[in-house]
Structure 1
Amino acid sequence: MDLHTLLAPERYNIANEIDQHVSSKTALILENESGEQQTITYSELVQKANQLANGLTKLGLEKGDRVIVMSTRLIETYYIYLACLKAGLVISPASELLRAKDLSYRINHSEAKAVIAYHPFTDEFDGITDTTPSLQYKIAFGETVPGWLLMKDMMAGEPEKFTTVDTSKEDYAFLAYTSGTTAMPKGVVHSHGWGYAHLRTAAPKWLNITAGDTAWATAAPGWQKWVWSPFLSILGSGATGFIYNGKFSPHKYLELLQNNKINVLCCTPTEYRMMAKLEDIKEFNLSSLHTAVSAGEALNREVIDVFQTNFGIQIRDGYGQTESTLLIANLNVDSEKIGSMGKPLLKEFIEVVDQEGHPVPVNEVGTIAVRRDFPALFKLYYKNSEKTKEAVRGEYFLTGDRASKDEENYFWFQGRNDDVIISSGYTIGPFEVEDALMKHPSVKECAVVAYPDPIRGNLVKAFVVLKDGTVESEHLVKELQQFVKNITAPYKYPRKIEFIDSLPKTDSGKIKRVDLRNR
């Protein structure tokens, strides 16, 4: 595959990739915890999106306006995203786990003009105490919420046709936020042209999705991975997407795979690990499954072996970032290479480089880097030219992840340049957790690091120095954990807390996190 096949036409809107599949074919199957199913065809999905796009433009939203969308695994989420793309709006995905503090930062940083939220999540927005001068419209769906417009009313009576706004391949489509270690989350800008390139790399080469497949990608809305797979890769391929809106249970997942005859599965290493631990895993029939992939963190060889032994399915690892698309993956796995990251999807664009941006020799550890002209790379960090510049060396964008490559161009993961923690597929910036802990009156100083865990990959561990006169106790541990949950997204809270007298530091006063990790 060469560069030209990944370049979108000058005038291009991602929504057209889904519009082309309009038919009576089932686009989505949603199942809830009670086992009730709801379906929607491609024609119905596009009609709903058109009605909402009409409603949004009538409201006063215009091309380029930023809209924060906070939803969950619902059919509405899909047509909200599609409607925004059609209307030329820039979507900023927000996880349902975010708190008022996270949301006020995103609203003000992105200068969001509107928020669209599922009704149970509106309280967090209403709990924002900061001023949000850009925010003009709050739209709820599912139930009526006082002080919010109701999406259903906005769509009522609107035409089922909508002329997609004329956008260029360079126009912004998504503004996603990523966690960092030393600052607030960075806004990652993806253009419509990014979507074009993504659909011509990850969907066919890694996920193996065809129009005849029923595909289940378990990622939750609010994360860039949801945009990657459940939304764009599945609907852009004309396949049928399966959605489960319920709590994770390894038995339940295997039942759903069996009963719905799922052909393509994309889920996190944590979900695979939990399924692989079941003693009765062999009792399930997954004969319909032809592709199983994993992303978010490295997958254990033992888990891969369990699925290979019981189902004859090779789970294939994939690596990418919020800033890109899938970059490296195991496609046709050589048994001797299990445990590697796989090979770059496009070898001419992915390299291992030194800190000056020069490729390093075979078997030498360096930083995974992406050539800056790769069409599925982000445009910039929003309002942060300094961070954008910092991430570039020569002709490469540096991912911050360390790896080596062997003689056959298989990449082997070594860790991160920075201290980002990946736990159960969630990316967590220590700074955000530390910032929350420091607001507690008992905390004098703290540092947060990753703590290895066989199920989640890593846990968040906090080393806390207490203020003089404060006594450490199990009660205080629980209090600090709850305190963090109340301030920031609950998945970020420190599952382990260790009280220490002082933090190890360099001569310049920087915390030596490596020393803490080594403990």
Structure 2
Amino acid sequence: MVQYPDNFAHDNLPPKHLQPDYIFGHTGFEFPDDLNCVYRLLDQHIAQGNGQRIAIRTFDQNWTFRDLFEKANQIAHVLVDNMGLVPGNRVLIRSANNPMMVACWFAVIKAGGVVVATMPLLREKELTTMCDCAEISHALCDYRLEDEMRQVKSPFLKQVMTFDGEAKSTQSLEAAMASKPKSFDNFGSTAETICLIGFTSGTTGLPKMTSHFHRDILLICEAFPKYSLQPMPDDVFTGSPPLGFTFGLGGLVLFPFYYGASTFLIEKPTPELLLQAIQDFKITICFTAPTAWRVITTKVKDYDISSLRKCVSAGETLPLKVWQDWYDATGLKIIDGIGSTEILHIFISSHEGNMKPGATGLPVYGYEAKIIGPDGNELPANEPGRLAVRGITGCKYLARPEKQQEYVENGWNITGDIFRKDEDGYFWFVARGDDMIISSGYNIGATEVESVLLLHPDVAECAVVGMPDEERGMLVCAHIVLKDMAKASDDFSKEIQDWFKENAAPYKYPRIIKFTETLPKTETGKIQRFKLKQSQS
């Protein structure tokens, strides 16, 4: 391990005995001990004479790999020469998905820094918490998001520089870049040097910092994309997840660049803009959340999506109804997957050749999984239990040994999800551990109830949570968005409940139905069930 001038990240790694077991015994997962991941993702394209190929497209810009390479090098010079970055410093990046954010991401790692990429919707309080927890010293921020960044009052944050895309300000990052060389000698990191910190989206207490090595960044490029996507240099990737979310980072930057393909970035990716991009720029691979796939399905008939060959869903479980409706409309099969910030990307999924509609899938190349009970023993087929995973990447919380021991048991990563494994080895999502509703002794998965409700012809969206009840322990409570909200009434609630009992086990039916105009969601489209729970307390 390289000793940084600033060794905060490595000093706060969990001890080896608290880390998960790693499994590397597969072809393709061998990387040298001296490793800076940026060379393989970006610099190598220049070295191989492919600098003229398009790396990033937007609705109004095209950047070649050489453009990206040179701008990343200039930013790295600014970080070191102007901002005083030393290897090991943590650098926060605050931006929507755009080419400059990607250039900043590569620049930080080139210079030996540790990237902390964030989502645009975060506010001063959340940003301050991140700066305090990770002792972040530098920030690169899109000028349109500067206000919240300037309000951060952390004793660790020393320098903030903004970028505007056009060097309109003499104080901008672009203005500082203008005089810098377009070449840069990458920091001499090792395979086990930390280059990325991802914060989990915890709803209580301090967020957890997940750390990832240079090797981890490249390992995931050999796993899910090779297993499920089979990327080619002519592919064009797009999607909705922010690059501050590891689902988005992998799908929109790491995977395309690893395979010499290009990415299409959209700062505010509505379903309509995703469809427009697929049609106009011949997108071949699209990453988004189940809620977006549901909306896109209703609009797809108005667009030409004939270029699209792979559709990926993650962030939350994909309801069978959403999968079936998209397949019926397009003939394309959505690839569902489960990943985590701790493990970096998707570790259970499928491809067109082995897909079971409704199942999340099988462990992807490089991982293995099992279902365990409270005692840690593996459970028989079809019995719901805790999902345990291990493989090429795993959880390494910084400075949180108590949380590390919760996530890692006997060398396995315990994701907090309840799954079952069928006789064929396929994994089926049941619930998040904290979304399991125990009512009158029955274990009821919130998403099981949601999947049934979504089959009702009048239901547009729904989210199910447990409501405390003295008699039954918990009641199943469904928050429902109707296609026609004028139908919302007590009588219609009763009609939906009766319909549910005819289509699923009666003990699972929602005893409480609340009609609502919208459901609370994260920036990535994931339903925020904790807000619904809080509204009931």
Aligned to 1:298: 317
Alpha carbons of 1:389 and 1:406: their partners in 2 closer, same or farther (altered >3 Å)? Answer: same
CA distance in 2, matches of 1:491, 1:308: 23
RMSD: 3.2
Residue 8 of structure 1 aligns to which amino acid in structure 2? F
Match of 2:266, SS state, is strand
Q: Does 1:6 align with 2:29?
A: yes
Q: Does 1:381 align with 2:384?
A: no
Aligned to 2:104: 80
Shift of 1:49: 0.3
Residue 281 of structure 2 aligns to which amino acid in structure 1? N
Q: Does 1:70 align with 2:110?
A: no
Shift of 1:266: 1.2
Shift of 1:196: 1.6
Q: Does 1:370 align with 2:389?
A: yes
CA displacement, residues 156-190 of structure 1 (integer Å, 9 cap, x when unaligned) = 21111111101111111111111235422111111
Ranges of 4+ aligned residues in structure 1 off by more than 4 Å = 143-149, 449-457, 459-463, 489-500
Q: Does 1:277 align with 2:294?
A: no
Aligned equivalent of 1:91, options 99, 108, 115: 115
Match of 1:28, SS state, is strand
Within 5 A, what are the aligned runs for 1:247-396?
248=270, 250-278=271-299, 281-324=300-343, 325-333=345-353, 337-346=356-365, 349-371=368-390, 374-378=391-395, 380-396=396-412
Match of 2:28, SS state, is helix
Aligned to 2:139: 115
Aligned to 2:259: 237
Aligned to 2:52: 24
Residue 68 of structure 2 aligns to which amino acid in structure 1? L
TM (normalized to structure 1)?
0.77
The answer to whether the 8 Å contact 1:459/1:495 transfers is: no
The answer to whether the 8 Å contact 2:137/2:156 transfers is: yes
CA distance in 2, matches of 1:403, 1:392: 17
What's the % identity of the aligned pairs? 27
CA distance in 1, matches of 2:398, 2:235: 37
The answer to whether the 8 Å contact 2:323/2:333 transfers is: yes
Residue 328 of structure 1 aligns to which amino acid in structure 2? I
Moved more, 354-363 or 268-277: 354-363
CA displacement, residues 1-59 of structure 1 (integer Å, 9 cap, x when unaligned) = 9346324321111101222122100111111xxxxx21010011101001111111113
CA displacement, residues 473-513 of structure 1 (integer Å, 9 cap, x when unaligned) = xxxxxxxxxxx99xxx999698768877xx5xxxxxxxxxx
Match of 1:60, SS state, is coil
Alpha carbons of 1:390 and 1:251: their partners in 2 closer, same or farther (altered >3 Å)? Answer: closer
Aligned to 2:236: 214
Residue 377 of structure 2 aligns to which amino acid in structure 1? H
Shift of 1:217: 2.5
Contiguous gaps of at least 5 residues in structure 2: 1-23, 437-445, 455-459, 469-519
CA distance in 1, matches of 2:102, 2:220: 18
Shift of 1:254: 2.1
CA distance in 2, matches of 1:498, 1:14: 42
TM (normalized to structure 2)?
0.75
Shift of 1:377: 1.9
CA displacement, residues 181-227 of structure 1 (integer Å, 9 cap, x when unaligned) = 54221111111111121110122222332111111132113222222
Aligned to 1:188: 210
The answer to whether the 8 Å contact 2:366/2:392 transfers is: no
CA distance in 2, matches of 1:462, 1:83: 48
Residue 297 of structure 2 aligns to which amino acid in structure 1? A
Aligned equivalent of 1:61, options 72, 85, 88: 85
CA distance in 1, matches of 2:30, 2:462: 36
Residues matched between the structures, number: 437
Aligned to 2:424: 408
CA distance in 2, matches of 1:230, 1:499: 35
The answer to whether the 8 Å contact 1:173/1:190 transfers is: yes
Residue 351 of structure 2 aligns to which amino acid in structure 1? L
CA distance in 1, matches of 2:180, 2:377: 55
The answer to whether the 8 Å contact 1:140/1:150 transfers is: yes
Alpha carbons of 1:45 and 1:457: their partners in 2 closer, same or farther (altered >3 Å)? Answer: farther
CA distance in 2, matches of 1:499, 1:218: 28
Contiguous gaps of at least 5 residues in structure 1: 32-36, 421-448, 464-483, 504-519
Alpha carbons of 1:457 and 1:370: their partners in 2 closer, same or farther (altered >3 Å)? Answer: farther
The answer to whether the 8 Å contact 2:26/2:366 transfers is: no
Alpha carbons of 1:246 and 1:180: their partners in 2 closer, same or farther (altered >3 Å)? Answer: closer
Within 5 A, what are the aligned runs for 1:133-148?
133-142=155-164
Aligned to 2:246: 224
Residue 410 of structure 2 aligns to which amino acid in structure 1? G
CA displacement, residues 379-409 of structure 1 (integer Å, 9 cap, x when unaligned) = x211111111121211211011010111211
Alpha carbons of 1:499 and 1:456: their partners in 2 closer, same or farther (altered >3 Å)? Answer: closer
